[in-house]
Amino acid sequence: MDRKEFRDLASPEEAREAIRSLSLEGGIDHVSLADARGRVLVARLDAELDVPGFDRASLDGYALRARDTFGADEADPAELELAGEVHAGEEPDVAVGEGEAVEISTGAVMPTGADAMVPVERTTAAGDSVQIRTSVAPGDNVMFAGADVAAGERALGPGTRITPRDIGLLSALGADDVPVRSKPKVGIVSTGDELVRPGEAVDSDRGEIYDVNSYTIAAGVEDAGGEAVLYPHAGDEQDEMERVLREAAAECDLVLSSGSTSASAVDVIYRVIEEQGELLLHGVGVKPGKPMLVGRLEDSAYVGLPGYPVSAMMVFRTFVAPAIREAAGLPETETATLEGRMARQERYDEGRLRLMPVGVVRDGDGETLVYPVDKGSGATTSLAEADGVVEVDPGTDYLETGESVTVSLFSPDVRPPTLLGVGEDDPTLSRLLDGLDNPRYLSVGSRPGLRRLREGVPDVAVVAGPTERDVDAEELGSWEREWGLLVKPGNPDRIDGLADLVDEDHRFVNRTTDSGLRSSVGAAVADLAEEREVERHAIVDSIVGFDLGLRAHESPARKVIADEADAGLGLRETADRLNLGFVSLGTQPVRVLANPDRLEKPGVEELEAALDDVANGR
């Protein structure tokens, strides 16, 4: 099968124009009031009756003729004869004559002859009469028929997005069937033989992964005002892919697929669109998201998103969501933006519009710092840890430290974290963070944590084990953790220490070189080499798997549990939690280092107080 090459990439504006040329609109739905909130009216609604439909009392008190109160005050009240009473929800059976008053409740129909009412607070009942201690003018404290909405009056216009307030008006008008614009029905198809629905078993040995895009894109569709329909996964075989896509196209206004859009030989969606519909463009000058497709499939619009989650969501947010909102009749959201300064330099020279996920943090002076959050298009946490996007012009080679940038926030309610921490992954730290208000922690390892603290990005860095502390920082607190070898329950291989890994054929799983545990085991290896009077590399070469490093502190334990390793580097706390055996190799300090310019930042002070509780055993 020939490969499809990206030769002439469309510009971002050409991609928007291609999507605008597609028809995504559905039709008209008639919904009940219970289902009308948030929907968009397609026709004007006029009042078919007066609201209220009668003259009604605005307060509890007495209905009367205004001229009978002229001159009345606290010192010289007017005394009127009580002619009866009227309650809300009943038709008056009494009329008001000269020198008379009728007791009336809020919302009740004004009796014939009355043209005003006096609140009960300005009256005094006196047997068969009532004293009126104030004068009123005709119409006082009365809501006349049609005062709210008059029959024939325009109540709500087409294009109105129905709010709870509008529901109240529609209820008052007696409307029970509201004509609204149909939500664009959007079919979502994730492609790839490797995808598994969340909740099902995943086989990592076969390269299976959980389907991220179907659910994140569906949530984005709903946010944009569309109706998301999930379809079964389409495999990488063209006939199966064609079947699923055509089923979605027959039932939906727009089909969104993710994956199988790049230039590899197995990515065949563009062939399906070319053969069964019309391909408008393939490839856009944007990063991430170059392999984007736009076209038509039968009578449905079609957009092909890249397979990597970050790429897929960036393309959806930038190009597709606005088109869904427009088709749903919703106004484009007011883009919440903020201005900030780049926390560090970022190079970029690919000649494409870059949609750069970023996080924001306040420095010690309350100014906004912006830092890239980009673990690659395949990393879902690049979006989970980001606050918004910075668009980098294709002609920009790099962004300098301190350069002003504009961040388009993912939503108006995004707020910067109260504390930004980076560094070592540790269970005690996780419990500390659980007690803080809106912290963000990036588990990058001890060495990268120190480097980022040196660059001035985070508020704190958490480091463990032997590290070079050539950074200007204040230690907020520390704790000790026991580290060693995670082994199978009962330690059937009788592993007693590093020497057994050197002398026997045991499979070992290490941590990455960024980890504080890796630093400690490296120091232990050096000690063993000195004790045996051999070169360090001789010890390392004798340990099967020493160079295999996993990032998270539980990952080696999982390998031991799966019988893919006999021993793994880890913590006693991990062994206890996962019911593994443990061979202690010592303890190491975990230190929390703070940027000295941010010691008075509330989030840093909150963390310091929590560390004091740990130190004092609370």
Architecture of the domain delimited by 439-615: 3-Layer(aba) Sandwich (3.40)
Residue 617's pLDDT band, with cuts at 50, 70 and 90, is low
| Strands 45-46 vs 78-86: parallel, antiparallel or unpaired | unpaired
Residue 142 reports pLDDT greater than 90: yes
Residues of the chain with CATH 2.170.190.11: 56-143
Which comes out higher in pLDDT, residue 611 or 613? 611
Residue 96 reports pLDDT greater than 90: yes
Q: Residue 457 has what DSSP assignment?
A: -
Q: Given this model, what pLDDT does residue 5 score?
A: 47
Three-state DSSP at 347 gives strand
- The helix or strand, by DSSP H or E, that contains position 314, with its residue range, turns out to be helix 309-315
Q: Residue 535 has what DSSP assignment?
A: -
Whether the CB-CB separation of 374 and 433 falls below 8 Å is answered with no
Residues of the chain with CATH 3.40.190.290: 439-615
Q: Given this model, what pLDDT does residue 538 score?
A: 93
| CA triple 324-326-330, angle to 5 deg | 100
Residue 542's pLDDT band, with cuts at 50, 70 and 90, is very high
| DSSP-derived secondary structure for 204-237 | GGGT-EE--HHHHHHHHHHHTT-EEEE-PPB-SS
Residue 380's pLDDT band, with cuts at 50, 70 and 90, is low
Residues of the chain with CATH 3.90.105.10: 28-51+148-181
Q: What sign does the dihedral 408-412-417-418 (CA atoms) show?
A: positive
Which numeric CATH code is attached to 56-143? 2.170.190.11
Residue 365's pLDDT band, with cuts at 50, 70 and 90, is confident
Q: Given this model, what pLDDT does residue 4 score?
A: 46
Q: How far is CA 442 from CA 175, 309, 381, 430, 589, in A?
A: 53, 19, 10, 11, 19
Residue-wise pLDDT tens digits, 476-517: 999 999 999 999 999 999 999 999 999 999 999 999 999 999
Which comes out higher in pLDDT, residue 567 or 365? 567
| Strands 439-443 vs 460-464: parallel, antiparallel or unpaired | unpaired
Does domain 28-51+148-181 match CATH 3.90.105.10? yes
| DSSP-derived secondary structure for 477-496 | EEEEEEEEEEE-TT-TT---
Residue 586's pLDDT band, with cuts at 50, 70 and 90, is very high
For 105-128, what is the mean pLDDT?
95
Residue 1 reports pLDDT greater than 60: no
For 109-127, what is the mean pLDDT?
95
Domain 12-25+184-328: which CATH class? alpha beta
For 135-161, what is the mean pLDDT?
87
Q: Which two tokens stand for residue 343?
A: 């926390």
* b/e sequence 575-586, b meaning 16+ C-beta within 10 Å: beeeebbbbebe
Q: How many CB atoms lie within 10 A of CB 537?
A: 10
> Judging by beta carbons within 10 Å of its beta carbon (0-12, 13-18, 19+), is residue 116 exposed, middle or buried?
buried
HSE-up (13 A, CA, CB side) for residue 103: 15
Residues of the chain with CATH 3.40.980.10: 12-25+184-328
Q: Given this model, what pLDDT does residue 194 score?
A: 78
The C-alpha atoms of residue 335 and residue 332 are separated, in whole angstroms, by 8
Q: How many CB atoms lie within 10 A of CB 429?
A: 23
Q: Which two tokens stand for residue 568?
A: 């793994």
Q: Given this model, what pLDDT does residue 267 score?
A: 60
Give the 3-state secondary structure of 21-89.
CCCCCCCEEEECHHHCCCCEECCCEECCCCECCCCEECCCEEEECHHHHCCCCCCCCEEEEEEEEECCC
Backbone φ and ψ of 400, nearest 5°: -80, 155
Q: What percent of the chain has pLDDT over 70?
A: 94
Residue 2's pLDDT band, with cuts at 50, 70 and 90, is very low
Helices (H), 459-577: 498-503, 516-532, 536-542, 555-561, 572-577
Residue-wise pLDDT tens digits, 55-85: 999 999 999 999 999 999 999 999 999 999 9
The answer, as to whether pTM is greater than 0.75, is no
Residue 593 reports pLDDT greater than 50: yes
Residue-wise pLDDT tens digits, 214-253: 899 999 999 999 999 999 877 667 788 888 889 999 999 9
For 328-356, what is the mean pLDDT?
83
Q: Residue 139 has what DSSP assignment?
A: T
- Cross-strand pairs, 294: 281, 303
Q: Given this model, what pLDDT does residue 519 score?
A: 92
Domain 337-416: which CATH class? mainly beta
Residues of the chain with CATH 2.40.340.10: 337-416
Residue-wise pLDDT tens digits, 403-419: 999 999 887 778 889 99
